[in-house]
Structure 1
Amino acid sequence: MKKEIKGQGAVQNIHNHFLKHRYEKSIYDDDFEEVTAKTEILEVFPKSIVNPVKSPDLHMAYSMNPYQGCEHGCAYCFARPTHEYWGYSAGVDFERKILVKKNAPELLEQFFKKRGYKPEPILMSGNTDCYQPIERKLQITRRMLQVCLDYRHPVDILTKNALVTRDLDILKPMAEKNLVSVSLSIPTINETLRRQLEPRTSSVNTKLQALETLSRAGIPTNVMVAPIIPGLNSMEILNILKVISEKGAHSFGYTLVRLNDTVEPVFVDWLEEHYPDRKEKVLHHIASMHGGKLGEKSVAKRRKGEGNIAEMIHTTFRVGRQKYFADKGMMPLNCDLFDGTKGEQLRLF
């Protein structure tokens, strides 16, 4: 009999294509549950924490990620293949072996002190979630935000976790100086689908409460309705936009699902496990948006997609924008307050 492991998205540890030999264990193997019952925290020591973003379709200059791997376990996560660079699998390992960068706040401060540095907003969580469950204990993200506040440096936050509201005492004074925005990822308001699709993220109600709390606190809020997976959450688009508008979101964004590299076998296995009756239809719709492939790496094509399904999704979002967000928007963050010496000065008091 199958043994479902609560809070896990991947069905198995798929092969790391960088490795010559392969050894896979399914969650249905007799001794697998004991191995994966707990998350393993592995400390790493990077030499830098701020990464330049070179993709022309991403509107930010830098990103930073205090964690590698993500406990949230989203079956569709585009970051899964990056775990292979560390010698791990994009499957279960991505969710259970979390690499933490405890020196990230110190590295960020060093970055701010670089001679000639000209500030631009930094995206926190360009790859994996900065507010995943382990952040509750380690508080690396919180310490990084304090550095940003000390130096008056603008930062955009992207997360699926309501834990972000824990740091309102830092976010509010940053927002008063127009130094921060928060994007919450809400791809579905169907709690049953949410539990299966992204099992260890905050519940739908908790995410919506967090959105309302942040908005009422004066923090600019955006919602990423992403990714859109035809046949799973594509029929929710207008309902999601209506609800998030009512909860105070200032804007929204969205992406079309892409199953690049080792994301594909993880997601296909997940579909087989949770929605076997829809599997072929969903995969067919995804392929129809990407020229017959399940993935799309072309910068020119990956956001727009192609075909009737993609156009239907774009049209629905255009209608939703006009109906629920016509008079809303986000202001650019303030880069003029930054002072590379301010953090040190503040520490004197």
Structure 2
Amino acid sequence: MAASTAVTELHPKTILSFNQSPDILFDRSINPFVGCEHGCIYCFARPSHAYHDLSPGLDFETKLFAKPDAARLLRETLARRRYRPRPIAMGTNTDPYQPIESRYRITREILEICLETRHPVTITTKSDRVLRDLDLLVQLAERQLVAVALSVTTQDPRLSGLLEPRASSPAKRMAALARLVQEGVPAHCSVAPVIPAITDCFMEEILQQAGDAGVKSAGWIALRLPHEVAPLFREWLSVHFPDRGDKVMSIVRSMRGGRDNDPRFISRMRPRGVWAELFRSRFRIARKRAGMGRPRFELDCSQFRRPQDGVQMQLI
């Protein structure tokens, strides 16, 4: 029996988070939710739930937080005279299209503000619910203001159900990528995370299907196991893959300098060693064969206009 989900509303004073990390391509982000209903066992954001005195395990999946004031706070931020636009990243910590978005519609409200103010935004998700906002995404795309990445881990629905129990099926994610391309929305396929001896065998198939759907760019991210994620993942392996758990972790450590996780800037995003080079070579060849390249989304910051005082502009 699936665990029930409880949602608590948060009312922060600010909504944009800024970072100066040298290995991340964005400098600001919005997370409408804390915790994630998708329940991906490998999620690197799980340890953040400890800030709320909750567990990175089941609590992260079932005791969620929503920020219903997000759009209002964003409007206030964008209205400040000193604010200078750069793309806002969504989906960097927890998924903006997890199931509770259907009720709260916070992500949609944020996209409405971005369209109103002509502010660029990027989205990363594991859900085909992104298509519910296709009307806004098309308008943003027409103005070169949006790019959407769908993360696909495997093509096996059973394995996906074990890894990502409440995320959209792989087939639905692929269909969503195809629809975004069809409607002119810049779409990117992220093969993430690549889990050695569990999901890496699907790499070529994922890329070929994405290429057949018209997707023009793709990237990959190796499995990361920070803090409490490592023991949670080990436990998951012992339950679902007891025959190869030791092999999986041995390969992970070989790519992370002998540890379960490498927390250092730059190297945390670029695994090393023989296995890492093998995955990197396989990915490069498969991406080229599928007719795709590296992501090169050029979003336009020059159209930005500050929101009107307390009045939403007509979305035209």
State the TM-score, normalized to the length of structure 1. Answer: 0.87
Q: Separation in 2 of the partners of 1:340 and 1:321?
A: 40
In structure 1, the partner of 2:313 is 346
In structure 2, the partner of 1:22 is none
Q: Separation in 2 of the partners of 1:233 and 1:40?
A: 31
CA separation of 1:275/1:63 partners in 2, compared to 1, >3 Å: closer, same or farther? same
In structure 1, the partner of 2:172 is 206
In structure 1, the partner of 2:103 is 137
Q: What percent identity do the matched residue pairs reach?
A: 41
Q: 2:204 pairs with 234, 238, 241, which one?
A: 238
- Whether the aligned pair in 2 keeps the contact of 1:220 and 1:330 (CA below 8 Å) is no
In structure 1, the partner of 2:257 is 291
In structure 2, the partner of 1:247 is 213
Matches within 5 A, 1:216-295: 216-295=182-261
CA separation of 1:87/1:171 partners in 2, compared to 1, >3 Å: closer, same or farther? same
After superposition, give the CA deviation of every residue in 1:224-257 in whole Å (9 maximum; x if it has no partner).
1011111001122111111111112221121111
Q: Separation in 2 of the partners of 1:76 and 1:261?
A: 12
Worse overlay, 217-226 or 323-332: 323-332
In structure 2, the partner of 1:174 is 140
- Whether the aligned pair in 1 keeps the contact of 2:37 and 2:61 (CA below 8 Å) is yes
Letter aligned with residue 91 of structure 1: G
- Whether the aligned pair in 2 keeps the contact of 1:151 and 1:342 (CA below 8 Å) is no
After superposition, give the CA deviation of every residue in 1:106-152 in whole Å (9 maximum; x if it has no partner).
01111111112111001011110000000011111111110111111
Q: Is it true that 1:321 corresponds to 2:276 in the alignment?
A: no
Q: Separation in 1 of the partners of 2:315 and 2:175?
A: 38
Q: Separation in 1 of the partners of 2:298 and 2:291?
A: 17
Give the CA deviation at 1:304.
1.9
Give the CA deviation at 1:345.
6.6
Which structure 1 residue ranges, 4+ long, deviate > 3 Å from structure 2? 325-331, 341-345
Q: 2:57 pairs with 72, 91, 109, which one?
A: 91
In structure 1, the partner of 2:9 is 43
After superposition, give the CA deviation of every residue in 1:189-233 in whole Å (9 maximum; x if it has no partner).
111111100010001111111111111010000111011111001
Unaligned ranges ≥5, structure 2:
none
Q: Separation in 2 of the partners of 1:224 and 1:348?
A: 30
Q: Separation in 1 of the partners of 2:208 and 2:108?
A: 31
Q: Separation in 2 of the partners of 1:293 and 1:121?
A: 34
Q: Which has the larger radius of gyration?
A: 1
Letter aligned with residue 199 of structure 1: P
State the TM-score, normalized to the length of structure 2. Answer: 0.96
Letter aligned with residue 168 of structure 2: S
Give the CA deviation at 1:327.
6.3
In structure 2, the partner of 1:110 is 76
